[in-house]
Structure 1
């Protein structure tokens, strides 16, 4: 019983450490480096937050997807690792 509790605690500590290492969602202030290192769901959340901050309302899914792809392309080509995703050309 004591050993399984130790394994559980070790697992929780490792989980918290990994969670602390993931890029944070900052909307338009998210740097290209963090954006490109994120999975598709996290990228979508960052773009959705950026568009909501800009427009004051939730964007349509088609606009979010198109903007995510535009930001991704911009960050891979013209952007630098420190460029904020809000600087990417988008609607």
Structure 2
């Protein structure tokens, strides 16, 4: 139950951060160790693959996920969502997908 509260808190912080910023990051997507297939899968990336990615790979996965859901990909949104996904994946198990951070 505590894990759910932590994830919910992180998601709320991500929503707040996304709502506070009006800019959108449109820079190149870097993916050093994740490979093109993981970064292009975005929210369909498994937690296992997400957690095994380096920071640049995780950012790429999250940016792809945010774009696919119509959300801002500015730095604060990407960072907050990446941290939420990391917390979710570590607490909910590696069988989930990155997109599951919104539904649990």
Calculate the TM-score normalised by the size of structure 2. Answer: 0.59
Larger RCO (CA under 8 A, 6+ residues apart) = 2
Whether 1:61 aligns to 2:52 is: no
- Stretches of 4+ moved more than 6 A in 1? none
The answer to whether residue 63 in structure 2 is matched with residue 48 in structure 1 is: yes
Asked if residue 24 in structure 1 is aligned to residue 38 in structure 2, the reply is: yes
What's the offset of the Cα at 1:24? Answer: 2.2
In structure 2, how many angstroms separate the alpha carbons of the residues matched to 1:68 and 1:89?
12
Which has the higher Rg, Structure 1 or Structure 2?
Answer: 1
SS in 1 for 2:38: coil
For structure 2, the 5+ residue unaligned runs are: 1-32
Shift of 1:59: 1.5
- Whole-angstrom CA distance in 2 between matches of 1:37 and 1:62: 22
Distance 1:69 1:89 in 2: 13
5+ residue gaps in structure 1? 1-18
Which residue in the other structure is 2:5 paired with?
none
The one of 74, 82, 90 equivalent to 1:76 is 90
TM-score, normalised via structure 1 length: 0.67
